[in-house]
């Protein structure tokens, strides 16, 4: 397993360079350095995180220990700092360029891999949930992640199989029932836990890893990682004494707006107000 460090020169707020676009479309992900976001914006975001993690309600998902926060969904709807950053040309502008469309935030979350306690994310592709549960017809979305701590090889970094997004949705099994530890939760909870509801076929994972290898994008707080919704990815538990927190925003193209579905997921998981973002600086 190899590592990738955030060492690219900054492209400024937007647009991305032609080389950056090519890297994203080839590999399914792109890592930008910590100075891609202005330092004052990053400082405001880091300061807002404790309040977001302390929110009570169904948008806060705990680990299987029922104590440690795993994720808090929808902060772009509830926190003014995240709302402002979600409109930033540094992030939304880059998403708009990659998707060649006006964009809105379909989903946002703070993912916390708490020191000693943060659980795994199994191998998965993101798009299958957005297609099957939110009614999004095409994989024309992009995940934009801001590192809120240093991400290193010890605290559960994301692991990607480069180029795996080019194979579309892979074969697998949609499991029944609720994961262990969440038996009393609502049905939509099954897509947010350490046990993936849709289990990608392991032979496909092995084949693609043999072809493309495995990489861990790493870097200091403020690094920005963008990745395709069909790129295969996972992350191991955080066994280190260092937290690993990330803000993740899923930008969707407005021409790829969700269709009505039966039993829609809550709005903190699937935005229903489709309006192009007016970029801010």
What is the pLDDT at residue 148?
Answer: 97
Whether the predicted pLDDT of 22 surpasses 50: yes
Q: Any idea what the CATH number is for the domain that residue 239 is in?
A: 2.60.120.620
Query: Does some domain include residue 143?
Result: yes
Query: Does some domain include residue 79?
Result: yes
Strands (E), the chain: 2-5, 29-32, 60-62, 69-73, 103-113, 121-124, 141-147, 158-160, 172-174, 198-200, 215-218, 224-227, 233-235, 244-253
Query: Does some domain include residue 204?
Result: yes
From 251, 265, 255, 254, select the one nearest 105 (Cα to Cα).
251
d(CA 162, CA 112): 24
d(CA 41, CA 53): 19
What is the pLDDT at residue 196?
Answer: 66
Q: What percent of the chain has pLDDT over 90?
A: 83
Whether the predicted pLDDT of 13 surpasses 60: no
Identify the bridge partners of residue 134 per DSSP, sorted by sequence position: none
What is the pLDDT at residue 17?
Answer: 94
Q: How many domains does the chain have?
A: 1
From 142, 164, 154, 153, select the one nearest 213 (Cα to Cα).
164
pLDDT in tens, 87-136: 999 999 999 999 999 999 999 999 999 999 999 999 999 999 999 999 99
d(CA 127, CA 157): 20
Whether the predicted pLDDT of 276 surpasses 90: yes
Q: Any idea which of 37-41, 43-47, 147-151, 247-251 has the lowest mean pLDDT?
A: 37-41
What is the pLDDT at residue 183?
Answer: 66
Q: Which residues have C-beta within 8 Å of that of residue 113, sequence separation ≥ 6?
A: 119, 155, 156, 235, 237, 238, 243, 244, 245
d(CA 96, CA 22): 15
From 79, 72, 49, 84, select the one nearest 281 (Cα to Cα).
84
Query: Does some domain include residue 11?
Result: no
Position of tokens 């269709």? 259
Which of the four pLDDT bands, split at 50, 70 and 90, describes residue 9? very low
How far is residue 64 from each of residues 118, 179, 184, 240, 247, measured CA to CA in Å?
10, 9, 12, 18, 21
H helices of the chain, in order, are 18-27, 39-53, 75-78, 80-86, 94-99, 127-132, 202-212
Range of the domain at 53: 39-180+194-256
Whether the predicted pLDDT of 176 surpasses 80: no
pTM, two decimals, is 0.91
Query: Does some domain include residue 27?
Result: no
Query: 5 versus 161: which is more confidently predicted?
Result: 161
Query: Does some domain include residue 188?
Result: no
Number of other residues whose CB lies within 10 A of the CB of residue 45: 23
Query: Does some domain include residue 50?
Result: yes
What is the pLDDT at residue 192?
Answer: 74
From 237, 225, 175, select the one nearest 200 (Cα to Cα).
175
Query: Does some domain include residue 105?
Result: yes
């Amino acid at each position: 397993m190899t590592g990738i460090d955030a060492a690219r020169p900054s492209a400024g707020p937007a647009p991305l360079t032609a080389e950056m676009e090519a890297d994203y479309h080839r590999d399914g992900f792109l890592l930008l350095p910590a100075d891609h976001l202005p330092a004052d914006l990053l400082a405001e975001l880091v300061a807002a995180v404790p309040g977001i993690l302390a929110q009570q309600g169904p948008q806060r998902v705990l680990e299987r220990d029922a104590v440690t926060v795993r994720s808090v969904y929808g902060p772009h709807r509830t926190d003014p700092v995240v709302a402002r950053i979600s409109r930033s040309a540094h992030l939304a502008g880059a998403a708009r360029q990659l998707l060649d469309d006006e964009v809105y935030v379909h989903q946002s979350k703070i993912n916390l891999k708490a020191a000693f306690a943060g659980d795994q994310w199994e191998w998965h592709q993101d798009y299958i949930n957005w297609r099957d549960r939110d009614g999004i017809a095409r994989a024309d979305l992009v995940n934009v992640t801001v590192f809120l701590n240093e991400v290193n090889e010890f605290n559960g970094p994301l692991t990607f199989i480069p180029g795996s997004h080019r194979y579309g949705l892979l074969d697998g099994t949609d499991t029944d029932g609720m994961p262990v530890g969440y038996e009393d939760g609502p049905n939509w909870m099954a897509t947010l836990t350490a046990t993936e509801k849709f289990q990608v076929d392991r032979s496909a994972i092995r084949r693609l890893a043999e072809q493309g290898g495995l990489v861990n994008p790493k870097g200091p707080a403020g690094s920005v990682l963008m990745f395709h919704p069909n790129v295969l990815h996972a992350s191991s538990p955080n066994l280190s004494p260092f937290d690993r927190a990330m803000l993740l925003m899923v930008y969707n193209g407005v021409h790829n707006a969700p269709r009505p579905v039966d039993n829609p997921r809550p709005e903190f998981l699937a935005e229903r107000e489709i309006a192009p973002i007016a970029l801010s600086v």
